[in-house]
Amino acid sequence: MLTKKVEKALNKQVELEANASQFYLAMASWAETKGLEGVSSFFYRHSDEEREHMLKLIKYINERGGHAIVPSLPKPPKVFDCLSHVFQDLLDHEVMVSKEINTVVDICLKDKDYTTHNFMQWYVAEQIEEEALARHILDKLKLIGDDKGGLYLFDRDIMSMNPAKN
Contact residues for ligand OFO (CB under 6 A)? 17, 20, 50, 53, 94, 97, 126, 130, 164
Cβ closer to ligand OFO: 53 or 117? 53
CB of 114 to ligand OFO, least distance (A): 22
Cβ closer to ligand OFO: 20 or 141? 20
Cβ closer to ligand OFO: 20 or 158? 20
CB of 45 to ligand OFO, least distance (A): 12
Cβ closer to ligand OFO: 3 or 105? 105
Q: How far apart are CA 15 and CA 126, in angstroms?
A: 17
CB of 88 to ligand OFO, least distance (A): 15
Q: What does the DSSP assignment read for 106-146?
A: HHHHHTT-HHHHHHHHHHHHHHHHHHHHHHHHHHHHHHHTT
Q: Are 129 and 161 in contact (CB under 8 A)?
A: no
CB of 130 to ligand OFO, least distance (A): 5
Instruction: Locate all alpha helices (DSSP H) within the chain, ordered by sequence.
Output: 4-33, 37-63, 83-110, 114-144, 148-157
Nearest to 93 by CA among 53, 145, 38, 151: 53
CB of 86 to ligand OFO, least distance (A): 15
Q: How far apart are CA 14 and CA 51, in angstroms?
A: 9
Q: How far apart are CA 23 and CA 155, in angstroms?
A: 20
Cβ closer to ligand OFO: 20 or 25? 20
